[in-house]
Amino acid sequence: MVNNIVKNSPMRASMFADTLLGPKITCPKPVKIHPELRVCHARWIEIPEIVDGKDGILSVAEERKNIPFNIKRVYYIYNLLNHHDVQRGKHAHKTLEQVLFCINGSCRITLHDGLETQEVVLSRPNVGLYIGPSMWHVMHSFENNCILLVMASDYFNEEDYIRNYDDYLEHLQRESIIDE
Ligand code: TYD
């Protein structure tokens, strides 16, 4: 009797209903809403959105598949209480590669490669921004519910940071990334 109640309960029906819904649909959004990037050392990375008849969407990032490096570190920025005033970043890296995903809310990122400057919006959890070495970047205009998730190609190393803008320009010239 107890078994019958469990077998026929709506809960049990819904637990198995996905078998009735047909195959999984994996749908990377066909429409690219992000602008073309004019700066060097940056590109958009779109990861799949899996919508499979359950509530919610599942997005997946995999190293050397849709993330173009081995992921040694993941960190995230959240709890942006003074989000109107906050500016983060304001540095470049000598070697580090990163992909940034805004997995909740939105923020803006100003990218500067020594010549071009471009401001972009990060607002879709399945669209990441790859930032390679030698890219000056500033994250700002955070929504207060913003969560910025970053996958990085290496462990934290303060030596890899260039935090002073004049040092950054010198670095670009030294590495022959831009002419004097
Ligand atoms: P920083 O990279 O300057 O933050 P943001 O670019 O978001 O402004 O790092 C802020 C502080 O956190 C700094 O003292 C270094 C420390 N930190 C770590 O200890 N480990 C990490 O992986 C990161 C990213 C930062």
Query: Domains in the chain: how many in total?
Result: 1
Position 25 confidence tier, pLDDT thresholds 50, 70, 90? very low
Domain CATH number, residue 159: 2.60.120.10
Query: Position 57: which residue type?
Result: I
Q: What is the pLDDT of residues 31-44, one digit of tens each?
A: 556 889 999 999 99
Position 90 confidence tier, pLDDT thresholds 50, 70, 90? very high
Domain holding 51, by residue range, is: 34-174
Region of poorest pLDDT, from 60-64, 75-79, 83-87 = 83-87
132 Cβ below 6 A of ligand 1: no
Mean pLDDT for the stretch of residues 70-86:
93
Interatomic CA distance for residues 126 and 101, integer angstroms: 7
pLDDT of residue 151: 98
Q: Is the pLDDT of residue 24 over 90?
A: no
Q: Is the pLDDT of residue 69 over 70?
A: yes
Q: Answer yes or no: 140 catalytic.
A: no
The helix/strand/coil state of 104 is: strand
Within a domain: residue 3?
Answer: no
Within a domain: residue 97?
Answer: yes
Cβ atoms of 126 and 151 closer than 8 Å: no
The pLDDT > 90 percentage for the chain reads: 72
Within a domain: residue 137?
Answer: yes
Within a domain: residue 116?
Answer: yes
pLDDT of residue 32: 57
Within a domain: residue 106?
Answer: yes
Mutation pick for ligand 1 pocket among 72, 75, 163, 168 (CB with most ligand atoms within 8 Å): 75
pLDDT of residue 33: 63
Interatomic CA distance for residues 9 and 18, integer angstroms: 16
77 Cβ below 6 A of ligand 1: yes
Mean pLDDT for the stretch of residues 108-121:
97
- Scanning the structure block, which residue is given the tokens 């990085």? 152
Measured in Å, residue 84 CA sits from the centre of ligand 1 at 20
- DSSP strands (E only) in the chain: 25-26, 42-46, 49-51, 58-59, 73-77, 88-93, 98-104, 107-112, 117-122, 127-131, 136-140, 147-152, 161-162
89 Cβ below 6 A of ligand 1: yes
Within a domain: residue 100?
Answer: yes
Contacts of 135 (CB under 8 A, 6+ apart): 39, 40, 41, 42, 92, 93, 111, 112, 113
Within a domain: residue 125?
Answer: yes
Q: How far apart are the first and last CA of the chain?
A: 84
Q: Is the pLDDT of residue 67 over 70?
A: yes
Q: How many CB atoms lie within 10 A of CB 138?
A: 17
Q: Is the pLDDT of residue 12 over 80?
A: no
pLDDT of residue 126: 97
Contacts of 134 (CB under 8 A, 6+ apart): 41, 92, 93, 94, 113, 114, 171, 172, 175, 177
Q: Is the pLDDT of residue 180 over 90?
A: no
